[in-house]
Amino acid sequence: MNNNELVGRLLSGDRRALARVISKVEREDPETAEIVAQIYGETGSALTVGFTGPPGVGKSSIIAKLIKLYRDEDKRVGVVSVDPSSPFSKGAILGDRIRLSDHFLDPGVFIRSMGSRGHLGGLAGGSRLAALAMEAAGIDVVIYETVGVGQGEVEVASAADTVVLALQPGTGDSVQALKAGVMEIADVFCINKADHPKAKNAASEVRSILEIGHELDPDPWFPPIVMTRGDTGMGVEELKQTIQKHRSYLEESGKLAERRRASLREFVVSWATNRLEKEMHERLDREDTELMERVYDRELDPISASERIFKEA
């Protein structure tokens, strides 16, 4: 099948075409660029939600329940799950298989786990391209699931219009998230495992951190805190409504456009930066084996050496 055919099928909503395109993205197949160029114009209308939080808080369980609610409205849902911290996230993928298994046979649901190999556009780049392919295939709601609270997760999650940070009671998660700078990017907080005896404490802990942040930097959107249970689905309807409320807020305030512009700009810069980094390594490897030797021998300083490879082009 040539690219035009593949793109044609993708745009008609063919699941196998979608799976093939995402595999090309993952393999960094050179054909990806052409495919993306052809589909990009057809994207941009999905609701995108980033779901992030430490391992095991119940993200996949909540997502499974959310999917059901969206399916009840006949919306097509795609999940891109990413685990930047572990190169072999077999455990997580297996776990998701079980938790999301209700939806595996549903043609309106497309779930894809992305490995954390060094993508050309970084992890965030690869998952964004997968999301674009999903949108082009007619998916209405794209959910990014990222495990952990670190810079990589922030990058992936912030590609979404609405970021949900899931935390678990009794773990000190909120402090960890605060340190990692994840609190700032969250639009909605989800305290999962509401059955936990410390659930209420966790919510008030988050609220006080948010209040301090709000005093320092007042924003008309004060992130709501929703209590949920991933196992029973309690609170997930409220979570869905809260996500919708955030979306409406973004649209009405003009912030949706602003946010998407910033995020696309970030995408372009990080893609270019990744390429540039790769190229710098290649130049060093290929063209001037002596250059680094001179740095090692302290004959040439590192800044002058970097100027040399930078200007070589």
Residues near ligand GTP (CB under 6 A) are 55-61, 92, 95, 99, 147, 192-193, 195, 229-231
Shortest spacing between CB 57 and Mg ion, in angstroms:
9
Shortest-Cβ-distance residue relative to ligand GTP: 230
Sheet holding 188-191, edge to edge: 109-114, 77-82, 141-147, 47-53, 162-167, 188-191, 225-227
Shortest spacing between CB 147 and ligand GTP, in angstroms:
4
Query: Phi/psi of residue 179, each to 5°?
Result: -65, -40
Shortest spacing between CB 163 and ligand GTP, in angstroms:
15
Residue that is written with structure tokens 């935390």 in the block = 167
- The binder of 143, among ligand GTP, Mg ion, none, by C-beta within 5 to 8 A per type, is none
- What would you report as the CA-atom Rg of the chain, rounded to the nearest whole angstrom? 21
Amino acid at 67: I
Distance CA 83, CA 67 (A): 20
Q: Which is nearer to Mg ion, 166 or 202 (CB)?
A: 166
- The binder of 195, among ligand GTP, Mg ion, none, by C-beta within 5 to 8 A per type, is ligand GTP
- The binder of 246, among Mg ion, ligand GTP, none, by C-beta within 5 to 8 A per type, is none
Distance CA 62, CA 233 (A): 7
Residues of this chain that bind Mg ion (CB under 5 A): 59-60
Residue that is written with structure tokens 């063209």 in the block = 287
Q: Which is nearer to Mg ion, 9 or 65 (CB)?
A: 65
Shortest spacing between CB 112 and ligand GTP, in angstroms:
14
Q: What residues are paired with 112 via a beta bridge?
A: 80
Shortest-Cβ-distance residue relative to Mg ion: 60
